[in-house]
Amino acid sequence: MFFYTPIMLAKRFATLDLLSQGRSICGLGIGWSKDEYQASNIPFKDRGERANEFIQALKKIWIDDVVEFKGKYYNIPASKVYPKPIQKPHIPVYLGGFSPNTFSRIVKYDINGWLGVVGGPLEYLENTIKAIKEQASQADKNPDNFPVIILTYPNVSEDQSSSDKDKNRFPLYGGIDEVGSDIQRIKGMGVDHIIFGYNFSPIGKDVAKMIDISKQLSHFAK
């Protein structure tokens, strides 16, 4: 998020919200690569504190008629900043990340929810979702107010059958029924929205095939 100023990013998302008739979603992440920070001339140190200010400033730009923000890293003099998004009170903001600081930031600043990805055992994903809900409860906030969006990379093989040899298979790899079973399990964890990505799949360049597989998998998420 830090590779933009809050005003620049807010205006871009507000414009997108207008063009999409109120359907934009803002997904943010602090990032992990020191090289990216260095290339963008942004200090890698204290990025957590910087994120806290960025999120607060972003919301004020979308909500307040006269925007004013004074922080350690970002300062906005009393200004009128347009356009304003269609969605009220502001465009939904989802924060990605896997550290405890990310989860506490989501709860503390009432971010709309968590943007996660399946990158290992599904038990890890389930524990992460529980951790976010528990932090919300500890802060006397409704856990249901923090929805979860999960990015998945299904890799469906032609072999539609399950077998004992696949007990240790990687999540979302296998026949349609095996991958579908994983989707059902993810949905049962309280995930509100599942995104299918095919960047790492052999069908990643076949649009028709991607649409067909997505339609088949979507039935498991109902």
- 21 with 111, same domain? no
Nearest to 148 by CA among 180, 125, 178, 124: 125
In one letter, which amino acid is 75? Answer: N
Mean pLDDT for 117-128 is 92
- 113 with 207, same domain? yes
Write down the mean pLDDT value for the chain.
91
CATH code for the domain in which residue 140 is found = 3.20.20.30
CA 86 – CA 6 distance, rounded (Å): 18
**Residues in a beta bridge with 95:** 28, 114
- 208 with 135, same domain? yes
Q: Is the pLDDT of residue 162 over 60?
A: no
> Of the candidates 68, 91, 114, which is a domain's last residue?
91
> Of the candidates 45, 63, 91, which is a domain's last residue?
91
- 116 with 174, same domain? yes
CA 158 – CA 108 distance, rounded (Å): 45
What whole-number percentage of the chain has pLDDT above 90?
77
- 156 with 214, same domain? yes
User: In this predicted structure, what is the pLDDT of residue 166?
Assistant: 60
Mean pLDDT for 14-43 is 92
Is the Cβ–Cβ distance between 149 and 116 less than 8 Å? yes
Range of the domain at 116: 96-222
Grade residue 93 by pLDDT with cuts at 50, 70 and 90.
very high
